[in-house]
Structure 1
C-alpha cells in the first residue's frame, strides 16, 4: 500500500466531517501564513537593497559635493555642532575659462549648449580623477579645482595642478578640432592660503574663500587664450616640489614682459595689486611642455 493510499484510508476511516473541516481550515491558514511570510521576506529583501542603493548614491553625491575627508569628518559631528572649517596654508588652485564658448552658445539651441558644456566638463572631471585634484565648483563656463593639505585632498602637489591645467587646454583644443568649433581654454593657477568650509542651508557645498580665489580669477582672466598662466608663488611651489622630490621634469616658463595684464574685456591689472603673493605674476606655461623634455 502506498503512502498516498494510506493517507486516503486514514482520511476516510478516522476523520470525522468536522475534523476534515478543521484540517482543511488549518491547512489553508498555514498556506496563507507561509505565503504572507514569503511576500514579507521578499519585501524586506527589496527594501534592504533599496536602502543600500540609496546609501551608496547618497555617499557618491556627498563625495562630489564635498571632499572625501570632510565627509568623514561630518560623520563625527552632532547636529548641534557647527560645520567644520579649515585653514589651508599650502593650496594650489586652477581656474579655467572657455574662450569663444559664449559666442558659440548664442548661435545654438539650448540643448546643444548643455550638451557641449557637459562634454567639456566631463573631460575636465576625468582629469580631476587622473591628477587627484578636487573639483571645487563650476561657475558658468568657468571650472575651478585644486589641491591642498588634508582634508581637501589626500595629495598636495602643485605640479599635479599645473599638469591638470595644461591638460585642460589640450582636451579643449582636441574637442574643438573634433567638433570643428572655435573654442579654446585659458587657465590661471595660483598657490597660497585660503579658507574652506560648508556654507548655506540648502544645496550645501564645500567652498573655498580668500584672496587666493580672487587672485586666481585675475590670473585666469588675463591669461592668453590657449595658455596656462601661473603666479610666481605657484612657480616657486612647483620648483620646491621638484627639488625636494628629486624630480627631473622640466616645464618651460615664459616671463610676461607687458607693463600691465589685460583681460579680454579690456580691464587692466597691475603686477603689484592686492597682495605680496600676487604681485609676482610673470609666468606662462606652454601647453606643449606638459611632458618631461
Structure 2
C-alpha cells in the first residue's frame, strides 16, 4: 500500500469512526429524551391518580375539552371521615417541622390503608382524613364492610403510632352510607371532590364519635347488614352497639340530634375475622 493510499485509508477510517460516534451519541440522546418523556408521563399519571379516581382519569382520555368535565351521581357510597384527638394540643407544643412530620407519618399510614381496602382518598382537611367507596367510576370495589374496617384500622394504626412515639394522640371515625355527587372542581388546581348531604352528615358522625372508636349511621349499618346477607356471612362478624345517649355531643360540647344523621347511630364493638 502506497503512502498516499495509507493516508486515504486513515482518513476514511477517521471519518467513519466520527460518523459512528455521532450516530451513537445521537441514539443515546434520543433514548434519554424518550425516557425523560416516559418518566414525565409516569409522574403525571401518578399525580392524576392521587387527585382523581383511576377510572375518572381513564374517562378523561376519551373526551375532548369542549365537552367539559364529567360529574357522577353515586347512589350507594360509603364514606369514612377521621379526626385525630389530641393532635391540636400536641401541635401547640411542637415546632412546625415536627407537626408536619407527625401528620405526614400518620396520613402515610392511612394512605397505605386506602390501598389495602381499595378506598378512594377524597381529601384531607387539617388533621381530618376522608375516604370511601362507591360504584364506578369512584372505585372498582364497593363494600361498606371494607370502609368500616378501614375506619377501625385507622384507629388501630393511630394507637400504634402513639405508643411508638410516646404521644397522647388517638383517632375517632364516622362512617355513613348514602347518595352523593362527584365531580372535578377548580381550574388551576383541579381535584375530584364529593358533595352532598352525605358529606355533611359524615362530618357530624365523626365529630360526635367517642374517642378511639368508630361510629356508623343507621344507613351504614343497614348497608353492612345487606352485604353480609348477600355474601352469606354471619351477623356475629359485625357487632354494632347502639348509642344510648339522648343526643350526640362533640368533644367541645356541641349538641346534635340523631335526626341530623338519619336516625340512631352505632359504635362498632368488633369486626373480628372478616377479611375483605
- Normalising by structure 1, report the TM-score: 0.89
Does 1:292 find its partner at 2:239?
Answer: no
Report how far residue 31 of structure 1 moved: 2.8
Matching residue of 1:280: 263
Counterpart of 1:159 (choices 129, 136, 145) is: 145
SS at match of 1:80: helix
Matches for 1:96-245 after TM superposition, within 5 Å: 96-245=82-231
Structure 1 residues without counterparts, runs of 5 or longer: 1-9
Write out per-residue CA displacement over residues 31-69 of structure 1, whole angstroms, 9 at most, x where no aligned residue.
322221111111011111112222112111111111111
SS of the equivalent of 1:72 reads helix
Deviation, structure 1 residue 26: 4.4
1:260 pairs with 2:247: yes
RMSD: 1.6
Query: Is the 1:189–1:234 Cα contact (8 Å) retained in structure 2?
Result: yes
Does 2:37 correspond to 1:51? yes
Between 58-67 and 211-220, the greater mean CA deviation after superposition: 58-67
Tell me, in whole angstroms, the C-alpha distance in 2 between the residues paired with 1:250 and 1:109: 43
Aligned residue for 1:96, secondary structure, equals strand
1:76 partnered with 2:62 = yes
Per the TM alignment, residue 238 of structure 1 is displaced from its structure 2 partner at its CA by 0.3
1: CA distance, partners of 2:219 / 2:244? 18
Contact 1:70 1:151 (8 Å CA) reproduced: yes
Rounded Cα–Cα distance in structure 2 between residues aligned with 1:11 and 1:135: 79
Structure 2 gaps, min length 5: none
Q: Deviations over 1:63-100 (max 9, x none)?
A: 11111111110110112121111000000000000000
Q: Deviations over 1:197-252 (max 9, x none)?
A: 11101121110000000000010001110011100000000000000110125222
Superposition TM-score, scaled by structure 2 size: 0.94
Question: 1:257·1:282 contact (CA, 8 Å) conserved in 2?
Answer: no
**Partner Cα distance (2:224, 2:168) in 1:** 32
